[in-house]
Structure 1
């Protein structure tokens, strides 16, 4: 028989009042054992009034240790309490003791609604009196459970044995406190998962095996080599809409427990895992000092472990793009105003109640740390204003942090263009490799210098000589860059086709089209000594540093990484003045001669010369040209590989310059 003391039952503020009296006014001291009693709701809205037999017990983990405790109630029969959507027996009364605004959970559920998650817990603020003792402001909400108006999945019990039927439904929680629950398991990646439904008294071994294997399959796909593949990877096993929305909810709320406690569920005959509902946000919105000031911190990097799944998910460019796209949609739906207006209206709604809650004879804790609060405020209004500012600042931060940035692609193999000169620019300093001092001098040192595009000593012809091997020829001197061994400075030398110190491999490394210049003789790579920005800093050979991987070579030191910038067009193959002559010249590799064919419209005196890029004349000849086709062979066996100029002129005023390449 129910017996309780009689108390005056009336509304204390504009909010509905809930009165719960246990049988014999027995104190509620357990989270496991229900006490029988009676619930009465007093409200100015007649449709909200209630007088019913109920049961009550404690709930929560760390929150149960607070002096203002949260509770779970179980009505005598299923009922739409406060006309809320779910017709159910089980409901929760959240104390929000560590949240001095009393509305962080309510704000999170507003966000859940805005995101469009399938189920969002209801919110109803009340004043609670238990066994005649006024406990202050509480938030009545749904119990996270299977229900057509809650988590709408099939409810399994021990009678369901058909292999197709046991495919769902399952309500699970990735749960840091799983070890204290009756039914839980650990995944291959070490995540602890509690089975919330089927109930621990109903779940069969076949059902348990099925859901463990299903989660293992999802997790194995997520961590497989093909995890990004839409068919063979994780996406084939997850409802991506709920996944993306849930993750955005984690980041927008800044919930430090986002991955410590995560609800997921699976339907019958549906191979997808759904994420949600959102639950438990009293230490969210920068209310957890263990993270420090977290306005500008991503939860996937900073929230409490296990972050195992989200860290792997964010390695998938598809997921990054999906999050970015959805975030932009939400921002464009006036999200910031929606949320800040909700905070303002909620503060107005509960103002009378919060004054009683934080009064000197109840919970005078506004400026007292009761758990892990990051900030304390002297007044309730200051805490509310901070919450609004947090939302604005958080959205601003996430506008940048969730923006999808195309990852840099691996550096592409270098392909030279013989029609251009190049600058060799150090990645760290952006300085160019240049010839120091007397630029035409044999053995002049190569140094780092602030790049000057008009300075020929800073420009190089990058000539392919075979087998991905190059010779670097300075434009001004016409001499080749030469290595001199480990830790020795580079110099320029006369081109020598048999000297491997003058030959270089151009190795694509890392990302962003940067390269290592590796000497063929020593195997060392070109290094800007000490990473110095000073003009004249020596360019040396140093330990290779090249590491071969599945996607190519990597090189750690930026001192050894180089941009090869195409900069200045070389002389065109033919520069011609006058129209009385035609010229065609080429190097014949077999005879080691330069074959010169020219045609004259009129008989004329002809002068032919061959010059290197420094301007030195290597050959000269004068002859009589006839009116027709003419030919001459110039011995070139002594010419080293490189670029030369053939100059042709006639007594009729024709002037032709042609570039010759000898390899």
Structure 2
């Protein structure tokens, strides 16, 4: 143990806080030394990693012999978090002694791989939302979710607080279980699989992408579909063209009139159950970024199943009411309505989810699985027990973490709630979960019934054509949110409105003539409820 390093480790003195010492922990301790180098966003710099982990129930001291050592590469990761937050997330790659070649190793009992993530969990003051979500998904679904371990980090002699060691999303038999496609795999079955794709921000991304030919959201945005793996330098042109065509064919099938057909429709292209599970998870935690950011999906070779699988899941710090924009802190409303609630946001949901929910069989399966989960792993008691047990395990380490990063009682973007104590934060989380599930129990009942078809037949506008105000009438068989968007024929959004939690009965509203502010012509009015959108043409004379 470097005595100079130990000296610096003993004292934690953040600004405006009382100094404390750090010599041991009930969590594993990660000690990283960058050899005097400065960590960058890219590329990774060479560093040394030591992990002190004496096993379950045993204390870990900084002076103990390391249970794991490795040379590694380290870099910043994340978009918003690395740019705006002082507590940075990191990506690490385990390497051999030369510091050049990656090597797969088991870390903290997780299956061997070379690439890992150190999640800073800065703006979630419970420190639990990410792990709660991965734990729940692993219990509710057969699909992969990243494994994790909490630790405390010391970087270049400085205590950095609690981090979550997580598996990076990667093709591997223990991670995303698909074939690792080679650049020479350009024909036959070999070209058909091994792809991980995503819908996400493109800033800072090295992914190759294309624009979806099918507009999404009230502003008819053609969103970017990115290839996460293979990396651009490992991607043959034939592979790019293959997966672009496959995803575009899926979108065409979903947008087409036969989208419900079991052989011609979307089911010919996708693993339906993965989409059901992804939707349920996203709605339970009401992920404000759900469907539209960090939204991964993958495709294996045709000989091994070969359909688009939704997932793996990723990035859940802005969930369970931890976002103060676009109704992210409300336990009411569907996450798949984000683009109607916030029509000016540039990151829109793909049109997929509205369309899928118009398939009554798909919607019915969502409801049936949700209701089955409510009898087993999806209860406030079970989720609350995870929160309580995790917060208990973090008792001493979180106290050090919040001395280093004094965020308790302080707003950190985009907190939907600011508690004066850590206990207030976890109480809010548990209360929000209970309220969310109660709301979903009521509002999911209309999934999979003929509501959408009855609404489409009953949705009336008058007068149409018109020169003045226009009145719309829509019978609501069950309570639901109602959203409205009005666009002109160029796709420009003119008006958007949202009415949460509308009661059963006749929904009636008047659109004033001033809404049609581009003059005479043709307009598109779209009304959306929890069963999906329905559109009508309005002619202005």
TM over 0.5: yes
Query: Partners in 1 of 2:124 and 2:314 — Cα distance?
Result: 15
**Length-normalised TM-score, structure 1:** 0.59
1:19 counterpart residue number? 31
CA contact (8 A) 1:136 1:357 kept: yes
CA contact (8 A) 2:136 2:377 kept: no
**Offset of residue 555 of structure 1:** 12
Match of 1:265 among 298, 317, 328: 298
1:323 counterpart residue number? 366
1:172–1:383 Cα change, 3 Å: same
Look up the SS of the partner of 1:402 in the other structure: helix
* 2:364 pairs with 1:300: no
2:61 counterpart residue number? none
CA contact (8 A) 2:27 2:150 kept: yes
Look up the SS of the partner of 1:290 in the other structure: coil
1:410–1:69 Cα change, 3 Å: closer
1:404 counterpart residue number? 446
Q: Output one character per residue of 1:36-90: Cα deviation in whole Å (capped at 9) or x when no partner.
A: 0110111232998211111110000111111100001111221110011x31010
- Bigger radius of gyration, 1 or 2? 1
CA contact (8 A) 1:255 1:284 kept: yes
CA contact (8 A) 2:139 2:377 kept: no
Unaligned runs of 5+ in 1: 414-426, 428-508, 514-530, 532-553, 557-663
**Offset of residue 299 of structure 1:** 0.1
* 2:195 pairs with 1:170: yes
Query: Partners in 1 of 2:173 and 2:47 — Cα distance?
Result: 27
**How many residues in Structure 1 have an aligned counterpart in Structure 2?**
415
Look up the SS of the partner of 1:32 in the other structure: coil
Q: Output one character per residue of 1:469-491: Cα deviation in whole Å (capped at 9) or x when no partner.
A: xxxxxxxxxxxxxxxxxxxxxxx
Match of 1:78 among 91, 96, 104: 104
CA contact (8 A) 1:4 1:23 kept: no
| 313-322 vs 174-183, which moves further | 174-183
CA contact (8 A) 2:195 2:230 kept: yes
**Offset of residue 186 of structure 1:** 1.5
CA contact (8 A) 2:46 2:73 kept: yes
* 2:323 pairs with 1:288: yes
| Greater relative contact order (Cα < 8 A, sep 6+) | 2
Look up the SS of the partner of 1:328 in the other structure: helix
The structure with the largest helix share of the pair is 2
2:274 counterpart residue number? 242
* 2:254 pairs with 1:222: yes
* 2:120 pairs with 1:95: yes
The structure with the largest strand share of the pair is 1
Look up the SS of the partner of 2:31 in the other structure: strand
* 2:225 pairs with 1:193: yes
Match of 1:341 among 362, 376, 385: 385
2:54 counterpart residue number? 44
Query: Partners in 1 of 2:364 and 2:298 — Cα distance?
Result: 24
Look up the SS of the partner of 1:107 in the other structure: helix
1:35 counterpart residue number? 45
**Offset of residue 4 of structure 1:** 11
Look up the SS of the partner of 2:188 in the other structure: coil
1:17–1:167 Cα change, 3 Å: same
1:115 counterpart residue number? 140
* 2:309 pairs with 1:274: yes
Query: Partners in 2 of 1:555 and 1:116 — Cα distance?
Result: 38
CA contact (8 A) 1:168 1:266 kept: yes
Look up the SS of the partner of 1:201 in the other structure: helix
**Length-normalised TM-score, structure 2:** 0.72
Q: Output one character per residue of 1:192-229: Cα deviation in whole Å (capped at 9) or x when no partner.
A: 12211112211000000000000000000111011111
* 2:399 pairs with 1:355: yes
Look up the SS of the partner of 2:291 in the other structure: coil
Q: Output one character per residue of 1:346-398: Cα deviation in whole Å (capped at 9) or x when no partner.
A: 00011111111111xx1111122221111101111110111111111111111
**Offset of residue 410 of structure 1:** 5.7
1:296–1:160 Cα change, 3 Å: same
Query: Partners in 2 of 1:512 and 1:326 — Cα distance?
Result: 24
Look up the SS of the partner of 2:108 in the other structure: helix
**Offset of residue 319 of structure 1:** 1.5
2:18 counterpart residue number? none
Look up the SS of the partner of 1:20 in the other structure: strand
Unaligned runs of 5+ in 2: 10-21, 59-65, 96-102, 215-221, 340-346, 461-472, 478-507, 509-534
1:40–1:320 Cα change, 3 Å: same
1:178–1:193 Cα change, 3 Å: farther
Q: Output one character per residue of 1:606-651: Cα deviation in whole Å (capped at 9) or x when no partner.
A: xxxxxxxxxxxxxxxxxxxxxxxxxxxxxxxxxxxxxxxxxxxxxx
CA contact (8 A) 1:117 1:277 kept: no
RMSD between aligned residues: 2.8
CA contact (8 A) 1:23 1:35 kept: no
1:318–1:18 Cα change, 3 Å: same
1:489 counterpart residue number? none
CA contact (8 A) 2:336 2:349 kept: no
**Offset of residue 176 of structure 1:** 2.9
Query: Partners in 2 of 1:555 and 1:43 — Cα distance?
Result: 63
Query: Partners in 1 of 2:474 and 2:166 — Cα distance?
Result: 53
CA contact (8 A) 1:91 1:142 kept: yes
Look up the SS of the partner of 2:196 in the other structure: strand
2:412 counterpart residue number? 370
1:53 counterpart residue number? 71
**Offset of residue 512 of structure 1:** 11
2:6 counterpart residue number? 7
CA contact (8 A) 2:140 2:377 kept: no
Q: Output one character per residue of 1:252-274: Cα deviation in whole Å (capped at 9) or x when no partner.
A: 11101112221100001134110
Match of 2:164 among 139, 147, 150: 139
Look up the SS of the partner of 1:75 in the other structure: strand
Q: How does 1:259-658 map to 2 (within 5 A)?
A: 259-261=291-293, 262-269=295-302, 270-292=305-327, 293-302=329-338, 305-336=348-379, 337-359=381-403, 362-404=404-446, 406-408=449-451
2:129 counterpart residue number? 104
